Amino acid sequence: ALLDDLEWLGFEWDEGPRVGGPEVSYWQSERQTYYADILEYLALEKLIYPCFCNRARLQSIASAPHAGEVVHRYDGKCRHLCDFEIQDLRNSKEPSLRLAVNTCDLNFDDRWQGAQHIHLECELDDYVLRRGDGMYAYNLAVVLDDIAMGITEV
């Protein structure tokens, strides 16, 4: 239905589910193995970690008073769990997987905005990449799909 609506609005695609192209599939639901492979790589590189926090805890973090801070961030409670703690928690709950954002600075030249400087820890959160129920987060899927399909501008 969404593709029908976009076609009705006059959108045309260079490639995609209705017009074909070099990709095996253009549906995120059919790219689960690809996402799993990337998460496996990130785990080997220690760039992700399991998070066992439930929604109630995450909501309490968001609603807690923050001294002048506008953005409410995950507090990293599960980021430094030891293997024993992880195994113990896995007995009662399947964790989500979070990106372990580095504390470094990132400098790059943006085509439109020029030189950019970002302190990652201040700008980004330890985003959930896979939920506890096994669903991959949109944040992960869209970035991986864009990379795989060579998309550089939207």
CATH of 32-63+74-148, one of 3.30.70.100, 3.30.1490.100, 3.40.50.620, 3.30.565.10: 3.40.50.620
Burial annotation 107-132 (CB, 10 A radius, 16+ → b, else e): eeeeeeeeeeeeeeeeeeebebbbeb
pLDDT tens per residue across span 84-133:
999 999 999 999 999 998 877 889 999 899 999 988 777 778 899 999 99
Start-end of H helices in 81-137: 83-90, 120-123
> Which residues have C-beta within 8 Å of that of residue 14, sequence separation ≥ 6?
21
Nearest partner of 15 among 27, 7, 4, 23, judged by Cα: 23
Cα–Cα distance measured from residue 133 to residue 115, given in angstroms and rounded to the nearest whole number: 40
Q: Are strands 114-119 and 128-130 parallel, antiparallel or unpaired?
A: unpaired
67 or 47, higher pLDDT: 47
Cα–Cα distance measured from residue 148 to residue 75, given in angstroms and rounded to the nearest whole number: 32
pLDDT tens per residue across span 15-33:
888 888 888 788 999 999 9
Domain boundaries, the chain: 1-30, 32-63+74-148
